Structure 1
Amino acid sequence: MSYVMNDAASFADESADGFVAAHRDLVRRVRGGVARATATPPGQVAVVIGGGSGHYPAFAGLVGPGIAHGAAMGNVFASPSTQQVVSVARAAASDAGVLLTYGNYAGDALNFDQAQDQLRAEGIPCQTVRVTDDICSAPAGEQEKRRGIAGDLVVFRAAGWAAEQGLDLESVAAVAARANERTRSIGVAFSGCTLPGADEPLFTVPPGTMAVGMGIHGEPGIETVPMATARDLAELLSSRLLAERPETAGGTSKVGVIVNGLGSVKSEELFLLYGALVPLMEQAGLTIVDPEVGEYATSFEMAGLSLTLVWLDDELEQAWRSPAYTPAYRKGTVELSTVATALAPEEAASDVEAIAAASEEAAAAGVQVLKGLDAIKDVIDREADELGRLDAIAGDGDHGIGMQRGARAAAEAAAAASAANAGPGTVLVQAGDAWADKAGGTSGALWGLALRTMGQQIGDAEAPAAGAVAAAVSAAREAVQRTGKAEIGDKTLVDALVPFSETLAALTSERRGLAQAWAEAAAAATSAARATADLLPRLGRARPHMEKSLGTPDPGAVSFALAVTAVGAVLDAYDLKEN
């Protein structure tokens, strides 16, 4: 697949810059994403949406009157970082508070939840509604585990309308939550998509077949069936959605319909499918209200489509029919103000805080931390394609690219901190913040948290002894498990992190030198990572396709083992203090 781009690593940022340049009357660039060109009126709740890049018009294309006030934009197929969400929310917030709403993916939930906590701590009222419309991603009784796909549009429209009515934060969240509860979606793919810079698609579909239940990040479908005619496809999709009619819909006979193209299916084909759906809806006793046929949540060039139904009550019908004016979605008539509310120019944000020089001993330890992070960057650069291949078997295939973005950003931030004679704690904290901010996603958030926790534990007073390093790793492990909720056996990086931490702690307590203890702990992590091939995933995007992952090690555990092994190779050159 060919892309118009300069460099794959800068694809999302440069695309966002061009988007803003093309729509300056509606949006402005803010750190972490975009916000409306005008300030949110006092008393109006700000609706902030977001997710990974690669799904246009979700999410930036839906910022404007009638829908969202801002969009946090992560890298390609990666959730925005906590700091990106916080930054966009601050830019959009009014005195009435902020509603965060987004598709229910592990990385998004992790980062948006942390952002919510931070915003509340800053005195900004904040609530969250996750979109869970994809019926193929979890059973009917576990809707809270489902992911969000094209049903995002329904929830975003409802939230935006409620905010425009002047409802308070709790009421806006309630309308959005009701819209989500009444929305169901299902999708099919005819071919996979290829990420910018990648040589192969994230997944393939055998010729003459289609994958039912694929995700917008390239997660493979839950079943492969023979290619169908438009009539048969309409019957397949509609019958499965109608079988999931929400209990709260009662006698509702009005539905909103979205026929969403995922990238390569053209408008004529979508209209053809919609035409086949109309009699099926009529036979089911349903009246279609203002159908939407087009692209609303895409996946680069994926050949595929999805069908969404929302069972409307009177209030949701008002929201569904209401006017909106955004770069990618326009309905009805919106009176745009000719005089924008004055906005203070954004202050330039520095990626590196003011750094105090440490003692000569501590600064030397900071240099060694930098060497370790450089070693991680090098091994991830070398293994990124293989990590992506492992991830694509049951996930979305972007783990290698995400790790690469994070490791590079961490090494760059560490270099800047070390150049300022920072101690080991500050180098780790700066690296962790950069990793989380640039990588996004679940692994980005957890790696960032781990490095920051280690840095805070170690500090800058002196070069850390082996026991202090082990204690810092243990603190990082606790933070990762507390935040990510994973346990041993869930088939995540925790399966390698825990034996690494426990082995390191045990050996350093026996007064082993750090280099030897680290090497043995890294070997334990490598062995544990390999053993994840025998596990079935219980968390994350691979969970709906757990059988496909059997026999393949978890990419997060593998990348962790690679990283700590690489760090071990540079420890021999550093004589650490005795315990």
Structure 2
Amino acid sequence: MTRLFNEPSQFADELVKGFVAANSQWVRPVAGGVVRRAPTVEGQTAVVVGGGSGHYPAFGGIVGPGLAHGAAMGNLFASPSAQQVHSVAVAAENRGGVLLTFGNYAGDVLNFATAEARLNSEGIVTRTVVVTDDISSAPVGQEHKRRGIAGDLTVFKAAAAAAEAGYSLDEVVRVATEANDRTRSIGVAFSGCTLPGQTEPLFTVPAGRMAVGMGIHGEPGIAETDVPTANELAELLVSSLLAELPPSIATAQDARAAVILNGLGSVKYEELFVVYGRVAELLEAAGITVVEPEVGELVTSFDMAGVSLTLFWLNDELEGFWRAGADTPAYKKGRVGSPSSASTAASTADTQSFAEADRLTLAAETAASLPTELPDSSDASRDAALAIADAIEAIAEVIDEHADELGRIDAVAGDGDHGIGMQRGSRAAATAARSAALNGAGALSALSLAGDAWADRAGGTSGALWGLALQSVGAALGNTTEVTGSAVATGVSDAVSGIQSFGKAVVGDKTMVDAMVPFTERLSREVNAGGDLVTSWRAAAEVATAAAAGTADLLPRMGRARPHAEKSLGTPDAGAHSFALIVVRVGEVLASRHSEFA
């Protein structure tokens, strides 16, 4: 289990702080993650990677010369927010365009795509390559659905080396795409991992058994077997990968491949070397030339006991990029230039000046995110903004009260991060809303700033969706008009429509939508029939609570819970449950502040 932590919701922030303090020769902090300490050549494509925290050395540990230019580092097992990705990309790019590359998970795809669109709209040419190397997560012909696991490294390494070689953005994208097409991985697990603050692992494997094909967040595999010997495990991994050659590889005989034997946290180097000895023999027997193998921890999952094997089938170009030098905190190969000519001989005073520069950089980025002047607003809208701040603070309180429960529910079929993510998002939103209201913001401004803060601090899919929800309600309320029940109902309906369009979920998928849709339908019906907002909201909250409880009888059809479908029967969806808790608590605030609403 994870034993050393302070406040679980602050774990990701604190690990980034400590990581930067220990590795300031290579990286400097920016809002949302880290970028290279050393300046890059003007016009060089910036390769920006990222994903949830909890997988070190992915992703911050591979930032440096020869590898990533920056890493967006999200909350534990949750994708970085679109704002985080944008911030890191802006800090990393140097007039050569940006490649965003990351593992294929719903939250990452959503948030990186949002950041990509924003960067392009701002004139920073940006492209995306998604890593899909895990053969156990989807069959041949559906490679685009596969997860990204330890094969992340081959794609990141090839793309970054191409950028260092002066390739244009289009050529870097071509190289990264080809590297992904030529990478195959499979993993096994013997036990689950435990998030900070939790006493039980996210998943379990029966004693004496091994899950084949299990993902790095506990996603289920394709089989379960008795725990094999080291040689038997090597034979299973190698035979599985040789059974599916990339289309560009006609035969394994005489092929060349980079090999990664990756430990996921609790399987240590000595064990990995025992396994790799047999892996090497099997690959040689198959006629494969192994090129610069890597054995160690490259993509981990806290204390998860597991192993993955990756084969990266090389051509001459990709082999050159795989062999190219790299110097990062956690991954070093060959020789490259000093990570920072300015810091190599840095004195204590120099180091202190770096720390001060980082502090000032972060302060400037934070200040830049706040509006210099709030839009005009009416007295009624400003009064409503104060009530909105009360409501969002109440949301944060109810999430704090139920965070452990939400994490436990989410861990049944997901990755257990829902409680922590909702805490981070709702607390940030409450702070932003209160600050805005006290500074004279109207309802629209207060909700927009709160939505931005929620999405940024929570990350993941739920962070993006709650950010969108607050912004949609704000747009319907405006800054200058009276806040009416009709306007609130319209805003909630717009929020649900936006979330369904953005996240693609429908009723029955076992998501937050299962509670949101009946809530908004009942709220609109009550308001349109002439009901006041407080009474209508409470009636809708009762419907949402019943609908959330009813998700216990559903099988998930989207997200990380989908592969655990049967396992989740009998447990409500964490997103639907948290939504119901929220609307009930907001109803109480509305009742106490009814004078601010018509």
* 1:269 maps to which of 268, 271, 276: 271
2:371 maps to amino acid? E
User: Residues 254-294 of structure 1: CA distance to partner in whole angstroms, max 9, x if unpaired?
Assistant: 11111111111110000011012122222333221111000
Structure 1 counterpart of 2:541, from 498, 522, 545: 522
Deviation at 1:161, TM superposition (A): 1.0
- Write out aligned runs for 1:46-445 (5 A): 46-251=46-251, 253-336=255-338, 339=341, 346=361, 347-350=364-367, 352-354=370-372, 356=374, 358-445=377-464
Q: Residues of 2 paired with 1:574 and 1:385: CA distance?
A: 29
Give the match for residue 26 of structure 1.
26
Per the alignment, in what secondary structure is the counterpart of residue 572 of structure 1?
A: helix
Contact 1:25 1:37 in 2 (8 A): yes
Corresponding position of 1:512: 531
The aligned amino acid for 2:209 is T
How far 1:358 moved relative to its partner? 4.2
Once residues 504 and 225 of structure 1 are traced to their aligned partners in structure 2, the CA distance between those partners, rounded to angstroms, is 51
Letter in 2 for 1:107: G
Instruction: Tell me how far 1:340 sits from its aligned partner.
Output: 5.1
Distance in 2, matches of 1:337 and 1:145, equals 36
TM-score w.r.t. structure 1 length? Answer: 0.96
Q: Is the 8 A contact 1:380 1:559 kept in 2?
A: yes
Q: Give the whole-Å Cα distance in 2 for the aligned partners of 1:227 and 1:572.
A: 58
Tell me how far 1:308 sits from its aligned partner: 0.9
- Cα 1:395/1:6, change in 2 over 3 Å: closer
SS at match of 1:442: helix
CA separation of 1:397 and 1:6: change in aligned 2, threshold 3 A: closer
Residues 465 and 577 in structure 1, CA contact (< 8 A), matched pair in contact too: no
Q: Identify the residue that residue 484 of structure 2 maps to in structure 1.
A: 465
- 1:401 & 1:218 partners in 2: Cα distance? 18
Distance in 2 between the 1:338 and 1:388 partners?
Answer: 41
Letter in 1 for 2:501: R
Aligned partner (choices 519, 532, 552) of residue 533 of structure 1: 552
Inter-partner Cα distance in structure 1 for 2:54 and 2:288? 34
Partner letter of residue 191 of structure 2? Answer: S
Alpha-carbon distance in 2 for matches of 1:339, 1:131: 33
Which residue identity does 1:431 align to in structure 2? A
Quick one: distance in 2 between partners of 1:573 and 1:548? 41
> Any idea what the Cα deviations from partners look like across 1:423-461, whole Å, max 9, x if unmatched?
222221121111111100000111011111211221121
Match of 2:350? none
Structure 1 Cα separation of the partners of residues 4 and 406 of structure 2: 25
Change in 2 beyond 3 A, CA 1:166/1:340: farther
- Call closer, same or farther: CA 1:159–1:512 in 2, change over 3 Å: same
Give the Cα separation in 1 of the matches to 2:472 and 2:222.
38
Alignment check: 8 A CA contact 2:26 2:340 kept: no
The answer for the alignment partner of 1:562 in structure 2 is 581
The 1-side partners of 2:404 and 2:16 are apart by 25
Question: Which whole-Å CA distance do the structure 1 matches of 2:142 and 2:556 have between them?
Answer: 17
Shift of 1:527: 2.3
Q: Name the SS for the 1:536 alignment partner.
A: coil
Identity %: 58
Q: Are residues 1:448 and 2:450 paired?
A: no
Confirm or deny: 8 A CA contact 1:255 1:309 kept in the other structure: yes
Question: 1:460-517, CA deviations, whole angstroms, 9 ceiling, x for partnerless residues?
Answer: 2144100000011111112111211222222211121112112211211111111111
Task: Give the Cα separation in 2 of the matches to 1:27 and 1:242.
Answer: 38
Residue type at the aligned position of 2:323: R
Which whole-Å CA distance do the structure 2 matches of 1:400 and 1:489 have between them?
A: 22
Is the contact between residue 262 and residue 298 of structure 1 (CA under 8 Å) also seen in structure 2? Answer: yes
Higher mean alpha-carbon deviation, 121-130 vs 397-406, is at 397-406
Structure 1 residue 337 displacement after superposition? 6.9
Aligned length: 579
Give the deviation of 1:26 after TM superposition: 1.4
- d(CA) in 2 for partners of 1:258, 1:178: 18
Contact 1:220–1:395, Cα closer than 8 Å, also in 2: no
Specify whether residues 416 and 577 from structure 1 end up closer, same or farther in structure 2 by C-alpha distance, changes over 3 A only: closer
SS in 1 for 2:6: coil
Larger CA deviation: 267-276 vs 390-399: 390-399
Q: Match of 2:346?
A: none
AA in 2 matched with 1:566: R
Q: Distance in 1 between matches of 2:392 and 2:314?
A: 53
Pick one of 467, 491, 497 that aligns with 1:478.
497
* 8 Å CA contact 2:327, 2:339 repeated in 1: no
Equivalent position of 1:17 in the other structure:
17
Contact 1:67–1:157 (Cα < 8 Å) also in 2: yes
Q: TM-score, normalised by structure 2?
A: 0.93
State whether residues 34 and 72 of structure 1, in contact with CA within 8 Å, keep that contact through their aligned partners in structure 2: yes
Superposed CA offset, 1:551-575 (max 9, x none): 3322111111221122112221233
The letter of the residue matching 2:300 is T
Does structure 2 retain, via aligned residues, the 8 Å contact 1:137–1:544?
no
- Contact 2:37–2:340 (Cα < 8 Å) also in 1: no
Q: Quick one: distance in 2 between partners of 1:117 and 1:266?
A: 41
SS of the residue aligned with 2:141? helix
* Counterpart-to-counterpart distance in 2, 1:340 and 1:521: 61
Q: Could you tell me how far 1:51 is from its partner in structure 2?
A: 0.8
RMSD: 2.0
1:299-327 Cα distance to aligned partner (Å, 9 max, x none) = 11111111111111211111111111111
Deviation at 1:2, TM superposition (A): 4.8
SS in 2 for 1:167: coil
2:587 is aligned with 1:572:
no
Q: Which residue of 1 aligns with 2:348?
A: none
User: Contact 1:211 / 1:225 at 8 angstroms: preserved in 2?
Assistant: yes
1:204 deviation in Å?
1.9
CA distance in 2, matches of 1:335, 1:94: 18
1:484 maps to a residue whose letter is G
The 1-side partners of 2:113 and 2:141 are apart by 23
Name structure 1 gaps, 5 residues minimum: none
Q: CA 1:38/1:335 → structure 2, altered by over 3 Å: closer, same or farther?
A: closer
Alignment deviations for residues 518-562 of structure 1 (CA, whole Å, 9 cap, x no partner): 112122222222222333222211122222223332211111122
Q: Contact between 2:25 and 2:340, CA under 8 Å: does it hold in 1?
A: no
Structure-2 change in CA distance of 1:410 and 1:165 (3 Å):
same
Gaps (5+ residues) in structure 2?
Answer: 344-353
What is the deviation of 1:60? 0.6
Residues 107 and 461 of structure 2 are in contact (CA less than 8 Å); yes or no, is this contact kept in structure 1?
A: yes
